Amino acid sequence: MTDVSRLVHLTYGINASATTIGTAPGSFAPLLPRSTPTSFFPRSRAVIERPLANADGRRLARIQGVKDIAELSLPLEFKGADSNTGAGVTTNWESKLEQGNLLASLFGGVGTLTTAGAAPTVSSGSGTSLTVSSTVIANNDIILFTTSVGTEIRQVASGGGTTTLTLDRAMVGTATAATTVIRAARYTMATATTIHTPVWFDAEGENWRRRFSDCQPSSMVLNIPNAGLVEADFAFMPNDYADNAETPTPSFAAPTAGSPVVSGGSAFFIGSTAFMLRAARLTVNVGMVMRETTTGVNGVRGGVASDKSNIMLEGELYVGDNSGSIGELVDDSGTPTLDSILGTDAATGASITSLDLSLAVGTAAGAALYIRIPAADLRSPGVREGGPFAVLPFQAMATGASPLTLGVF
């Protein structure tokens, strides 16, 4: 029977360690691509042509070369964590997230575990100070809590291990007493980590199956619409693949995960100032370079994350007078000003001032995320026409030794 292209059963698992090559993971978990993952379809080998001089000018048959190990593209919905009540997660976050081990591979480490204990509740709070009912929240934890203006998400800058916390930026409202504080899975990029743990993928159609081994993380792009589903596009670079025996009747299995994260009512901050953001996209590229070697079955053996300088958040900001604190970027007032981003208030040769950015998407446990770039080099080509509006397109390049933190609720 002819295959139907969209009927693909895709699972994956992460290697036992960053230096384990050639040994399959002990378990595989399902993935649900948001479109047909065609890069996982059966591939051919490279071929070696033989235009050899000979007595009668005949064409000679080609020789089989190595397998096609071109990059794998994986389009996913970005989902939250399964059953996230705010209580401590002390075993692993990855089993609660569809994309958990993909993030662990890409970031070079698993999600940071949270201190054991029940979810704390809010006692009081305003500005950057939040008082909670217990001491289980640690420094750098990313937390979701309720205020007088709705749900807000912040990172704990200091005070962890006590009941009085200092947040990375001021809350907009006043914290609502007796409401639950939810803690997130936290993935932090470290530029000093160059060896990342690879993953394996097992893709099966109706009459074919391929297992891609030791796939090195290359990139992730989070597309965050003004209103709608957050999409995650991952890319991995395999070492090899094999034709495995098909399962007689592969059955549907939903991944363990929360709900898809949906944009709408998101919060974008530069420092503690909220701005209207549109057309947002986060790009995380680790500069993966495969080791070329004759001892690799296809001429490569593993890879190295050689350059993490291409991590950026981009989008557009509305330019105006910010009447009623609507969240517009103003030319000569506020922090930052339009002048300061464009550099028109600076002298030639002056150093760029890094900015602390955050973007919270989603408002509920199991369906929210938080992006923080604590030291961003924010650049722009200048104000542009965006429909009837004046907008500032920008790229915020993440700098520093820990350029990016991602929280998933």
DSSP state of 126: E
pLDDT of residue 194: 97
CB within 8 Å of 55: residues ≥ 6 apart: none
pLDDT of residue 3: 83
| Residue among 157, 75, 87 nearest 119 (CA) | 87
Per residue in 150-185, pLDDT (tens digit) is 999 999 999 999 999 999 999 999 999 999 999 999
Model pTM?
A: 0.96
Q: What is the torsion angle, in degrees rounded to the nearest 10, for the CA atoms of residue 291, residue 295, residue 299 and residue 304?
A: -10
pLDDT of residue 271: 96
Positions of the chain with pLDDT lower than 50, given as ranges = none
Query: In a 10 Å sphere around its CB, with 0-12 CB exposed, 13-18 middle and 19+ buried, how is residue 377 labelled?
Result: middle
- Calpha distance 270→251 (Å, rounded): 47
- Calpha distance 202→162 (Å, rounded): 45
Q: Which residue has the tokens 């639950």?
A: 180
